[in-house]
Amino acid sequence: MKIKSVRTRVFEWKGKVVPPQAHFCTNASDILFERGDAMGSFRFHGWLVVEIETDTGIVGIGNCALAPRVAKEIIDLYLAPICIGEDPFDSEYIWQKMYRRTHAWGRKGIGMAAISAIDLAIWDIMGKAVNKPVFKLLGGRTKEKIWTYASKLYANDNLDLFLEEAQGYLNQGFTALKMRFGYGPKDGPAGMRRNIEQVRALRELAGPDVDIMLECYMGWTLEYARRMLPKLAEFEPRWLEEPVIADDIEGYIELKKMGIMPISGGEHEFTGHGFKDLLERRAVDVIQYDTNRVGGITAARKINAMAEAWSVPVIPHAGQMHNYHLTMASTASPMAEFFPVFDVEVGNELFYYVFKGEPQPVNGYIQLDDDKPGLGLEISEQYLNDFNIIE
């Protein structure tokens, strides 16, 4: 079996969009003065879909959501020629060839997201070729079902609406919730107070038997986080996520050393080399790569093995099938993130408009089908008219 063709398409949403609330989530641009939309560069309303066809007629599907137009060009110009003619079961060789031949510029960021999309499609082919789900190729089932946390709880200055949304997830059976902070360093003590009020309200609603996670999305500084952590300790969060920018590894180390609460990160880190650094420097308590960014399944499974050896849990970013298969197959992964189906807002929910086959949680757990080959995804035709599709 050989790879015959690589097709890339960018699906850009042109349908209804829900404008985010003000202060709905801190982000890395918050430290700057802004004349426009500070969160604009972190919203993504496009998705790259990669379809790799073999000479036996099998088509594997991969995807990535980071700068999809640029990722498409990288695949079309550089990666597709590397892959065509290769046996998809030589997945490690193909990955290494893509990684090493683009090493001068592709080690991190969009270059690695493009490699990830190709790699996902190759694993989808391998699963389909042997009529097994991908998690069976990764070692098989390590848990009966996957515990998930509800993750679309953005900050809202209307506390009643915020709590109403949280209660909805509790009513669905979720026993873990993640909220975003809406205020950061430039908002001063008043912003700190608003952050604390929101966490306190969520903890009081959820009670002591529900895990709550707190996300900063790189919107704080080390100095601000040092001041905030003692104020948050009483609410016993399961973790504080991305308190500082991804390159500030020393900041992560300092916050972790405070010993007040677990510190998580890795959503914006790439390949096993990046996570080797985080693990050896003891920078994070929880790893949160995204498989369609980090280097695909080929890279992610190596990170899982390292994390298991260091006893650091891996809870991938964003849920989605490419992450669920790794979570199912690894004892390093105790749970998964889940974004509910929702009108298009930030962009994570766009996955459901592009693809079909994603499992939905029941009482806070999702299940993968033992008999569905590959990743278990198909391209949905239901919303095609709501996309501008770039070939």
**Residues annotated catalytic, as ranges:** 317
Contact 61, 377 (CB under 8 A): yes
**For residue 19, what is the DSSP state?**
P
Candidates 54, 62, 51, 61; CA nearest to 90 is 54
Residues 6+ apart with CB under 8 A from 387: 11, 12, 13, 14, 15, 353, 354
3-state helix vs strand vs coil in the chain, percent to 5: 40, 15, 40
Query: What is the C-alpha radius of gyration for the chain, rounded to an integer number of angstroms?
Result: 20
Residues 6+ apart with CB under 8 A from 295: 95, 99, 112, 115, 116, 119, 270, 271, 272
DSSP string, 275-301: HHHHHHTT--SEE---HHHHTHHHHHH
